[in-house]
Structure 1
């Protein structure tokens, strides 16, 4: 069975417009978050990860009738396709598999009152309620007519998309897969929902919000963004002399079968996923889920100590760009690809590791060779996923 490799990627994140701006953020440990103001409720402003670009026009084409999540995915895909020279493959041999948690929730909230009258209902209204518009629109934008799937498994969605893409390539069903995730959740529906759950940070200052690995802080920073990756078999990449950025060694994803909005607080299920993913490999570091929710971050501490002790450093990029739900796994992959290409481990910013002193958290950028990275994702209702990425 041939290796499955990455030959291109694209990213849109807070303060990040392309590969090199993301490299700068990661290498220098820059926080790109800002204050999201609510004009209707002046005292309810929150720290969030905002992207300035509207992505209405992409490559000379207008996408104003598409949801923001779709537009971001298309923009990131265009970058990935260009990097990987994807026009080498026949359109029906290219799969598109995109993950999301919130879909078009922003537009559904924005236009909700208009749907009660057919005269004011936007003509694209049906597409907002159809999550598959996401992957279908990406496929149309690049001229692909192969298998197309939308994955709606929450915070693990983009790692799940990678898993499905890897299986399609290994089976020979397609020759290339566009995989990843996108989310634009910065509306009151999502914000108030996570406030109600007491998992969203309500801190008024950026440096105190969404602090990974800290028992002194509470809550995550909600962010928007898209991360897209191109997968293909190693033989085809070598045959066309395409640069290979990394190899997908293993992806493991499982659901715990938990009650609504619950998850296994012991970390036992995530531990099994993590251990199966790394196998006998000792990764150079763990690019972790840690985002400022104590239960999640304690699970990261637990699985690291139980499996690797203090041998392997751990970090989180979420203090820089926040947490973008279903897009986050792909963003973590892309950050790890940059880490391997340019030889550094990105820092975990904002935190002093209070309550996590017994694990080797990376607080300052470490410049060193990186040959392998393990990525972790888990979310409410019991989704757990992990991916082992290596350099060829």
Structure 2
């Protein structure tokens, strides 16, 4: 089978609206998180990853009535298509987008008027139809090929790559636009994760969303979008396109657990990770670790079982928080930048207390990077891993 490669990408994340700004954040280990005053329990403050731009107008079109998560995806897709210089038959390009929260901001906003016909917005039905995300990206770019929306939670953007790889290998399409987007910073999400004690209120930015630390608890809610263009390597090279990375392997499996539960032993994730890597070894692990004890402990467990703590491991979550379905694509883009410029980004905000055996990257390491593995997992959902090579 022909190799599947990445020929373009776009990112919209806190503090990172371009490849250049994202590279600077990664290389210098910059935290881009903010304080949301009065949004936590009893009007407490919470830490979040915010994007300042509203993206109401994209390429001179007004997208005011579209969900914020869709607007983020459109802006990222524009950058990805431009970087890839995509020029395929529009009927032979698939759009596969992932999301976890969908239009939750807008659903929350209009929930109080949903039973009032006069006040109900004309786009109300579309807000609850999550597939309008992929359909809108396809329409915006001018594509007529397959369009799918994946809603597998935090692994959704890796799952879009899995489906795209199958479509490309089978010859059904010539290119795929894939990725994830989420904008979950509404009261619904904040209250929900406060209820499950997954986020912490009334703390400083340095005290929460700390990967690999037994001294801190809670992750940082973030919004963002990451979009990639995938093609078969032979076709990309024939057209003289730049290739930023190769999808060596990508796998996804479901744990079959009840809602709000996950396999705390780490065995499910370990099995998936083994199957993803085979005999290959990454130069480093771009980890799911986000500051939740169960998730981070599983990351440490599988690292010891597979690598005996011999491979560097890092997490970018301390810089920009966790943006749900977008995070896998954002981790991939960070890995592509890492491979292109030859450095491993640091894990910031943590001293590694309780994870002393892990070879955590605390300061930027400059070295050639030929392969990176990315891990994603979420409660009562999928585990997903991908191995990227240069």
Shorter-chain TM-score range: over 0.9
* RMSD between aligned residues: 1.0
**Alignment partners' CA distance in 2, 1:76 and 1:201:** 30
- Deviations 1:235-271 (CA, angstroms, capped at 9, x unpaired): 1110110000000010010001001110000000000
- 1:172-183 aligned within 5 A: 172-183=171-182
**Counterpart for residue 76 of structure 1:** 76
Q: Secondary structure at the match of 2:200?
A: coil
- Deviations 1:331-364 (CA, angstroms, capped at 9, x unpaired): 0000000000000000000000000001100000
**Counterpart for residue 46 of structure 2:** 46
- 1:228-247 aligned within 5 A: 228-247=227-246
- 1:143-154 aligned within 5 A: 143-154=142-153
Q: Secondary structure at the match of 1:116?
A: coil
**Counterpart for residue 139 of structure 1:** 138
Q: Secondary structure at the match of 1:258?
A: coil
**Alignment partners' CA distance in 1, 2:363 and 2:40:** 40
**Count of residues in Structure 1 that have an aligned counterpart in Structure 2:** 390
**Counterpart for residue 372 of structure 1:** 371
Give, in angstroms, the shift of residue 115 of structure 1. Answer: 1.1
**Alignment partners' CA distance in 1, 2:73 and 2:136:** 9
Cα contact 1:202–1:219 (8 A) shared by 2: no
Cα contact 1:264–1:382 (8 A) shared by 2: no
- Deviations 1:70-101 (CA, angstroms, capped at 9, x unpaired): 00000000000000011x10100000000000
**Alignment partners' CA distance in 1, 2:261 and 2:140:** 37
**Counterpart for residue 252 of structure 1:** 251
Give, in angstroms, the shift of residue 37 of structure 1. Answer: 2.4
Cα contact 1:203–1:209 (8 A) shared by 2: no
Give, in angstroms, the shift of residue 382 of structure 1. Answer: 3.8
**Counterpart for residue 197 of structure 2:** 198
- Deviations 1:133-180 (CA, angstroms, capped at 9, x unpaired): 100000000001100000000000000001000100000000000000
- Deviations 1:89-129 (CA, angstroms, capped at 9, x unpaired): 01000000000000000000011111111100000001110
**Counterpart for residue 60 of structure 2:** 60
Give, in angstroms, the shift of residue 201 of structure 1. Answer: 2.7
Cα contact 1:95–1:176 (8 A) shared by 2: yes
Give, in angstroms, the shift of residue 40 of structure 1. Answer: 9.7
**Alignment partners' CA distance in 2, 1:306 and 1:164:** 29
**Counterpart for residue 225 of structure 1:** 224
**Counterpart for residue 36 of structure 1:** 36
Unaligned runs of 5+ in 1: none
Cα contact 1:214–1:351 (8 A) shared by 2: yes
**Counterpart for residue 158 of structure 1:** 157
TM-score, normalised to structure 2's length?
0.99
**Alignment partners' CA distance in 2, 1:39 and 1:369:** 43
**Alignment partners' CA distance in 1, 2:251 and 2:326:** 17
Unaligned runs of 5+ in 2: none
Give, in angstroms, the shift of residue 381 of structure 1. Answer: 0.1
35-44 vs 169-178, greater mean Cα deviation: 35-44
**Alignment partners' CA distance in 2, 1:71 and 1:156:** 20
Cα contact 2:372–2:388 (8 A) shared by 1: yes
TM-score, normalised to structure 1's length?
0.98
Give, in angstroms, the shift of residue 202 of structure 1. Answer: 2.2
**Counterpart for residue 15 of structure 2:** 15
Give, in angstroms, the shift of residue 204 of structure 1. Answer: 2.2
- Deviations 1:213-241 (CA, angstroms, capped at 9, x unpaired): 00000000000000000000001110110
Q: Secondary structure at the match of 2:227?
A: strand
**Alignment partners' CA distance in 2, 1:45 and 1:272:** 39
Cα contact 1:200–1:221 (8 A) shared by 2: yes
52-61 vs 194-203, greater mean Cα deviation: 194-203
**Counterpart for residue 270 of structure 2:** 271
- Deviations 1:182-229 (CA, angstroms, capped at 9, x unpaired): 000000111110111111132421111100000000000000000000
**Alignment partners' CA distance in 2, 1:39 and 1:189:** 10
**Counterpart for residue 2 of structure 1:** 2
Change (3 A) 1:70 1:268: same
**Alignment partners' CA distance in 1, 2:141 and 2:381:** 34
Matched, 1:356 2:344: no
Change (3 A) 1:334 1:323: same
